[in-house]
Chains A and B, each alone.
Chain A
Amino acid sequence: MTVKEPMSALVKNPQGAPRKNTIIEARNVDVFYGKFQALKDINITMEENSVTAFIGPSGCGKSTFLRCFNRMNDYIDEFSIKGEVLIDNKKVYWKNVAVEELRKEVGMVFQKPNPFPKSIFDNVAYGLKIQGINDKTFVEERVVKSLKDVALWDEVKDEMKKSALALSGGQQQRLCIARTLAVKPKIILMDEPTSALDPISTAKIEELMFELKKEYTIVIVTHNMQQAGRISDKTAFFYMGDLVEYGDTKQIFTNPKKERTQNYITGRFG
């Protein structure tokens, strides 16, 4: 049961040779909250170093699905899942998976900035600390690098000891992204990361996503259709637990194949 090497507990998918570039895959995923079915037979694949946007009306299951990739649903009492979620061809819901290891590979940024009530430095170093990494220079370098990656370094470099709660909302959210980067995940999940921010902070974070794409795979849930159009390579439209349509963002927004997608995008409901 004990897992020492990162991800060693994630077994290789027994069937099929690993497909090139595919990093996230869902096969026939059904999710239930008690008797309520939140997701119905979802099949999807996502590629490395891409940005995928999940869109759809509130309660359509997009956030639920996002949380299947790092198993943040585990703490909901009545949650159950069928089918397979694969990351790097390894089963996420295999019973021997160490979720802590999984989450080092699959980071997450939340809707509201949620810095810890600690210093800026401690926030970014937290992920390393809980892995038991105590090498001071290594941690410091990683913290600085992460803050530079989110373009926050210049704003905070003189006050690393200051409480993270003193930062503005936009800064806090970038700090939360830096905190995620410091663990060096492969995938970053973003659950409406800009919905609590002003337009200028939002623009900064969108800009950041273009940079991050080079090194990371990003999956973002958003209510903001323009945002999805601007930043994502691919878009998935969810409605009432169904994955209605999934394809290149350009195609989804200019030439959707399904009527429901069309209606949603043009603002007829949602």
Chain B
Amino acid sequence: MTNAQKNRIIDKSFQAFGVVCTFFGLAILAVLIYNIFEEGLSRINWDFITNLPSRRPQKAGIYTAVMGTIWILVMTTLIAFPLGVGAGIYLEEYTKKTKLASLLEINIANLAGVPSIIYGLLGLEIFVRIFGLGGSLLAGSLTLSLLILPIIIVATREALKAVPSSIKDASMALGASKWQTIWNQTLPASIGGVLTGVILAISRAIGETAPLIVVGALAYVPFAPSSPMDEFTVMPIQIFNWVSRPQHGFAVNASAAIIVLLLITFMMNGIAVYFRNKWQKKIKW
């Protein structure tokens, strides 16, 4: 066998291996989804969504967890959206390229890499104890807001960076102040990218379990929360709770709840992708 032939065989073998690896990833995804749907789909009905938790798997529902997740979603958005986008604007448009600015950048990169459970410890000590919020929705959403802040900031900065400076110059030259320029030109032109980042970040927050367990979200909450100071549980914690129980009925419940959680997650990711595409199509400079 000549050298060239040998090389060609190696090349072809690697290509085959590449196909296998790629489909391995996709196949696992398919198996995971198939398994969960097979086990849980028949369990999903209106009662399952609207029932309160119960010790008997057939009667147990996810109502309190769904309501908790919705509360967390809304409150985290209200806190993290303005703070994250505001911080992104400040860092991208108002800071000069100084040592301090690069320190801020390193800091945010590091925060993005801090494990979520560490944010849980922060929330436990600061919000739950020192602020005295207890294991409330407010403490939980404040904790999650800090967790996703770096994601929103980075996405906002990327989106703002993509707006050509010629547009900003034109606005400034017409006598617009810096903020008028940002509000009227830079933000509208980058809103697609900003929203994409925010939605992806919120979707991450919805799937988080560990930090909320640490701040004291409960596995068993008899009633749906009705104010930000109420105790709560969320879908991932409800799933965790059911997964940890030995009876098969709860595993079925966990699968069914996972279907609902996955639908929410995929829907949010879908919306994010939609925003990104729409935005890319609309603006060609």
A residues at B contact (CB < 8 Å): 70, 72, 75, 77, 100-104, 107-108, 110, 112, 114-117, 126-127, 129-131, 165, 176, 179-180, 183
**Chain B neighbourhood of A114, CB < 8 A:** 164, 166-167, 169-170
Cβ of B177 and Cβ of A100 under 8 Å apart? yes
**Within B42-91, which residues are at the interface with A (CB < 8 Å)?**
none
Which chain A residue has the least Cβ–Cβ distance from B185? A116
A126 to B173, CA, bound (A): 11
**Chain B neighbourhood of A180, CB < 8 A:** 173-174
Determine how close the nearest CB of chain B comes to the CB of A23; give it in whole angstroms.
18
Cβ of A165 and Cβ of B175 under 8 Å apart? no
Q: In this assembly, does B103 line the interface, its C-beta being within 8 Å of a C-beta of chain A?
A: no
Q: In this assembly, does B280 line the interface, its C-beta being within 8 Å of a C-beta of chain A?
A: no
**Within B241-285, which residues are at the interface with A (CB < 8 Å)?**
282-285
Q: In this assembly, does B184 line the interface, its C-beta being within 8 Å of a C-beta of chain A?
A: yes
**Chain A neighbourhood of B185, CB < 8 A:** 116
A46 to B97, CA, bound (A): 36
Determine how close the nearest CB of chain B comes to the CB of A197; give it in whole angstroms.
15
Total number of B residues with any Cβ neighbor in A under 8 Å: 23
Cβ of A117 and Cβ of B169 under 8 Å apart? no
Cβ of B96 and Cβ of A77 under 8 Å apart? yes
Q: In this assembly, does B162 line the interface, its C-beta being within 8 Å of a C-beta of chain A?
A: no
Q: In this assembly, does B180 line the interface, its C-beta being within 8 Å of a C-beta of chain A?
A: yes
**Chain A neighbourhood of B173, CB < 8 A:** 70, 72, 103, 107-108, 110, 180
**Chain B neighbourhood of A183, CB < 8 A:** 174-175
24 A-B pairs whose Cβ atoms sit less than 8 Å apart in the complex: A72-B172, A100-B175, A100-B176, A104-B174, A107-B173, A108-B173, A110-B166, A110-B169, A110-B173, A114-B164, A114-B166, A114-B167, A116-B171, A117-B167, A117-B189, A126-B171, A127-B174, A127-B175, A127-B176, A130-B171, A130-B176, A165-B284, A179-B170, A183-B175
**Chain B neighbourhood of A77, CB < 8 A:** 96-97
Beyond A70-B173, A114-B164, A130-B171, list 7 extra A-B contacts (CB 8 Å).
Answer: A75-B172, A100-B177, A117-B188, A117-B282, A130-B174, A130-B184, A183-B175
A165 to B281, CA, bound (A): 13
The list of the 8 closest CB pairs from A to B, nearest first, reads: A108-B173, A114-B166, A104-B175, A127-B174, A103-B175, A114-B170, A130-B176, A130-B180
Which chain B residue has the least Cβ–Cβ distance from A103? B175
Cβ of B170 and Cβ of A176 under 8 Å apart? yes
Which chain B residue has the least Cβ–Cβ distance from A118? B188
Main secondary structure of the interface of B (DSSP, over half): helix
**Chain A neighbourhood of B189, CB < 8 A:** 117
Determine how close the nearest CB of chain B comes to the CB of A222; give it in whole angstroms.
18
**Chain A neighbourhood of B282, CB < 8 A:** 117
Determine how close the nearest CB of chain B comes to the CB of A196; give it in whole angstroms.
11
A126 to B170, CA, bound (A): 10
A103 to B185, CA, bound (A): 17
B residues at A contact (CB < 8 Å): 96-97, 164, 166-167, 169-177, 180, 184-185, 188-189, 282-285
Main secondary structure of the interface of A (DSSP, over half): helix
Which chain B residue has the least Cβ–Cβ distance from A179? B174
**Chain A neighbourhood of B177, CB < 8 A:** 100, 130
Cβ of A117 and Cβ of B166 under 8 Å apart? no
A107 to B169, CA, bound (A): 11
**Chain B neighbourhood of A112, CB < 8 A:** 166
A112 to B170, CA, bound (A): 11
**Chain A neighbourhood of B97, CB < 8 A:** 77
**Chain A neighbourhood of B180, CB < 8 A:** 130
A166 to B170, CA, bound (A): 18
Determine how close the nearest CB of chain A comes to the CB of B76; give it in whole angstroms.
31
A108 to B170, CA, bound (A): 8
A126 to B174, CA, bound (A): 8
A122 to B78, CA, bound (A): 31
A179 to B284, CA, bound (A): 21
Q: Considering residues A126, A129, A131, which has the most beta carbons from chain B within 10 angstroms of its beta carbon?
A: A126
Determine how close the nearest CB of chain A comes to the CB of B99; give it in whole angstroms.
13
Determine how close the nearest CB of chain A comes to the CB of B182; give it in whole angstroms.
12
Cβ of A110 and Cβ of B170 under 8 Å apart? yes
Which chain A residue has the least Cβ–Cβ distance from B282? A117
Determine how close the nearest CB of chain B comes to the CB of A73; give it in whole angstroms.
11
A179 to B189, CA, bound (A): 19
A108 to B172, CA, bound (A): 9
**Chain A neighbourhood of B176, CB < 8 A:** 100, 126-127, 130
**Chain B neighbourhood of A179, CB < 8 A:** 170, 174
Determine how close the nearest CB of chain B comes to the CB of A132; give it in whole angstroms.
10
A112 to B164, CA, bound (A): 12
Cβ of B175 and Cβ of A130 under 8 Å apart? yes
Which chain B residue has the least Cβ–Cβ distance from A109? B173
A127 to B285, CA, bound (A): 21
**Chain A neighbourhood of B285, CB < 8 A:** 117, 165
Q: Considering residues A117, A165, A183, which has the most beta carbons from chain B within 10 angstroms of its beta carbon?
A: A117
Contact of A116 among B167, B172, B175 (CB under 8 A): B167
**Chain A neighbourhood of B96, CB < 8 A:** 77
Determine how close the nearest CB of chain A comes to the CB of B204; give it in whole angstroms.
30
Cβ of B284 and Cβ of A107 under 8 Å apart? no
